[in-house]
Chains A and B, each alone.
Chain A
Amino acid sequence: MSLKIAVLAKQVPDTRNVGKDAMKEDGTINRAALPAIFNPEDLNALEQALRLKDQFPGTTVTMLTMGPGRAAEIIREGLYRGADEGYLLTDRAFAGADTLATSYAIATAIRKTGPFDLIIGGRQAIDGDTAQVGPQVAEKLGLPQVTYAEEILNLDENARKVTIERHIDGGVETVEAPYPLVVTVNGSAAPCRPRNAKLVQKYKRALGVQEKAAITKDGGVLPYADLYETRPYLNLKELSAADVDADFSQCGLAGSPTKVKAVISISFQTKDSKRMTGSDNDVEGLVVELLSNHTIG
């Protein structure tokens, strides 16, 4: 029996390797200084989906992401690694969404493109670290959720149940849950398989509507334009708020109960530090000082 799986993935600024130029003088983020990447834990989620596809032939894996036109990159990356199709949920109406408005938009898109047996995403995205969208999508769809998943151990098609190992504070837990189900996967779960060379060949020219528009804007020429007619899978699908029948009052900034009141670059109390080198003399002096004031020993 085959399954229908959706993988939720997000394009995020790489906040892990932030240099000194990441912040502008006025305390706002210099996005241009941060490369956009596939949210790391979403790759772990994709791997869990692809393993089920290996195990249950005929299974389809659908990438679902939300963002600006360039976030079609996420769909392509998913296709390179074995996903079957994807949707980019993109609309100005979604801009400024907090986690609640984001999960509303994603839930409407899932209703429109589903039904799915499993909806799998990363535990959290590195730009917000909230871990809220997965559970909120589950609630909006009225589905059970299993968060902090380490591995999908077993899927019983007859009983329509999955067994999942998950991390809890100070330990591990194995749970059994019926599907349809929302699962969020930890970064410590199995890493995602690399790109498949054949799939890269197949999909490297796949483009979203806005990506194509960006190329042809100002009189640019879309290379291999005829390919997009003969090979429909190269046209990455985009969904607008209207396409998924979203209620605009629940989208974007308008649909976000939380508001950012203030943002500051943090400053810590700076101290007058005692500076020294790593020479034997200096290190010995430091150790003696710490011993004499009973900080150590």
Chain B
Amino acid sequence: MNNVFVYLEIEGQSVADVSLELLTKGRKLADRLGVKLEAIAIGSKLDGIERQVMPYGVDALHVFDDPRLSPYTTQPHAAVLVGLFKEEKPQVCLMGATVVGRDLGPRVSSALKSGLTADCTSLEIGDHDDPKTGKSYKDLLYQIRPAFGGNIIATIVNPEHRPQMATVREGVMKKEILDPDYKGTVVRHDVNEYVPDAEYIVKVIDRHIQKAKNNLKNAPIVVAGGYGVGSKEGFDMLFELARELHAEVGASRAAVDAGFVEHDRQVGQTGVTVRPKLYIACGISGQIQHLAGMQESKIIISINTDPDAPINTIADYVVVGKVEDVVPKMIKYYKAHSK
């Protein structure tokens, strides 16, 4: 009762990184609250799945194993969570802000009439005094997220409803093994007690998963372009610089929305979070939702015609100039000096 739960996203037989990151965060929240950390694995052929998650400090792993539970479809997974949560009454439930988590989370929160906050960038425990009712609450989950297109940061609480649900994007939290020999219990549930046959109503008839086309998340150097790059062709130059530096190309949301590059290169709160040793921001003004996804880069270079671009305040080097002038010069002098 009253524990912290993490929904494990499982592709094939392997637990997604985002879920391991949430277990790491969930362990810390559970310690702070003085409760247990529990995880839920829903899928097919899950024997041994506990070995992937126990090292993150899981006290109890709930396993729901049935061929019909993989690949993921909404209603059976939602039925499992709703049924389990009615029994276990967790105080906190965390999920990845992935396609699966963002499909499943709202469905479950609606069924339980509990609050859900999407795409949190930080989770903390703290107290809350309601200014309207005068009631005080101890140890609520602060769900912190950029809102309004990333122009403000809001702290959301769910004072009266449980579980307090939140989704978090991959890469926002850090995964860290707690103890390779951590011992938790495994509870195998009878799926049929939770999921009536009628819930298997949507059929996946075809499915293609490609390996990620880029390695933006782990790239040591990122060359990123914004709306200021101007065009798809303008990005060619960034790809060339990236090739020279063995870097990956990233982009701001404005550049992605304008169709300059594919969506999977978007850096920021609604894209990928990166922490490279060097981030070269080309023609990016620096909306907060972008900065939230790259501010931890070790060294930041901003190339922008606007000397007062917001991103310049967090940059180590500010080059005031046109991207189409500066980037070719960088390529030229890199070639000249790196030999």
Q: Write the A181-194 contact mask toward B (1 if CB under 8 angstroms, else 0).
A: 00000011000000
A214 at the A/B interface (Cβ < 8 Å)?
no
Q: Write the B48-77 contact mask toward A (1 if CB under 8 angstroms, else 0).
A: 000000000000000000000001011100
In whole angstroms, how far apart are the Cα atoms of A146 and B203 in the complex? 11
Main secondary structure of the interface of B (DSSP, over half): mixed
Q: Check if B206 sits within 8 Å of A174, measured CB to CB.
A: yes
A16 at the A/B interface (Cβ < 8 Å)?
yes
Closest to B104 in A: A135
Report chain B residues within 8 Å CB of A288: 333, 337
Main secondary structure of the interface of A (DSSP, over half): mixed
Q: Check if A126 sits within 8 Å of B149, measured CB to CB.
A: yes
Report chain A residues within 8 Å CB of B1: none
CB distance from A207 to the nearest CB of B (A): 29
Q: Write the A25-68 contact mask toward B (1 if CB under 8 angstroms, else 0).
A: 00101000000000000000000000000000000000000000
Q: Check if B301 sits within 8 Å of A286, measured CB to CB.
A: yes
Closest to A259 in B: B157
Contact among A134, A139, A271 for B313, CB-based, below 8 A: A271
Q: Check if A295 sits within 8 Å of B277, measured CB to CB.
A: yes
Closest to A103 in B: B110
In whole angstroms, how far apart are the Cα atoms of A132 and B156 in the complex? 15
Closest to A174 in B: B206
Q: Check if B321 sits within 8 Å of A278, measured CB to CB.
A: yes
In whole angstroms, how far apart are the Cα atoms of A265 and B150 in the complex? 9
Report chain B residues within 8 Å CB of A136: 106-107, 109-110
B86 at the A/B interface (Cβ < 8 Å)?
no
Q: Check if A98 sits within 8 Å of B315, measured CB to CB.
A: no
Q: Check if A278 sits within 8 Å of B325, measured CB to CB.
A: yes
A115 at the A/B interface (Cβ < 8 Å)?
no
Contact among B153, B156, B202, B333 for A146, CB-based, below 8 A: B202
Interface size, A (range): 35 or more
Q: Check if A127 sits within 8 Å of B148, measured CB to CB.
A: yes
* One of A163-171, A221-229, A235-243 contacting the partner: A163-171
* Chain A, range 127-175, C-beta contacts under 8 Å to B: 127-136, 138-140, 144-148, 163, 167-175
Closest to A283 in B: B329
Q: Write the A255-293 contact mask toward B (1 if CB under 8 angstroms, else 0).
A: 011111111111011110111111110111011101100
B177 at the A/B interface (Cβ < 8 Å)?
no
- Of the A-B pairs whose beta carbons lie under 8 Å apart in the complex, a sample of 30, sorted by A's number, is A15-B150, A16-B149, A18-B149, A127-B148, A128-B148, A129-B270, A139-B106, A146-B202, A170-B211, A171-B207, A173-B71, A173-B206, A173-B208, A175-B205, A176-B205, A187-B257, A257-B160, A258-B115, A264-B153, A266-B153, A266-B291, A266-B292, A268-B314, A273-B317, A275-B307, A278-B303, A278-B321, A283-B330, A284-B337, A297-B338
Sample of 11 more A-B contacts, CB < 8 Å, known A136-B106, A174-B204: A16-B257, A18-B287, A100-B115, A147-B103, A169-B100, A266-B291, A268-B314, A275-B317, A275-B320, A295-B277, A296-B338
* For the complex of A and B, 7 pairs with smallest distance between CB atoms: A278-B321, A15-B149, A257-B115, A258-B115, A132-B106, A139-B110, A135-B106
* Interface, chain B (partner A; CB < 8 A): 71, 73-75, 78, 98-100, 102-107, 109-111, 113-119, 128, 130, 142-143, 146-161, 201-212, 221, 245, 253-254, 257, 263, 270, 277-278, 287-288, 291-292, 295, 299-303, 307, 312-322, 325-326, 329-330, 333-334, 337-338
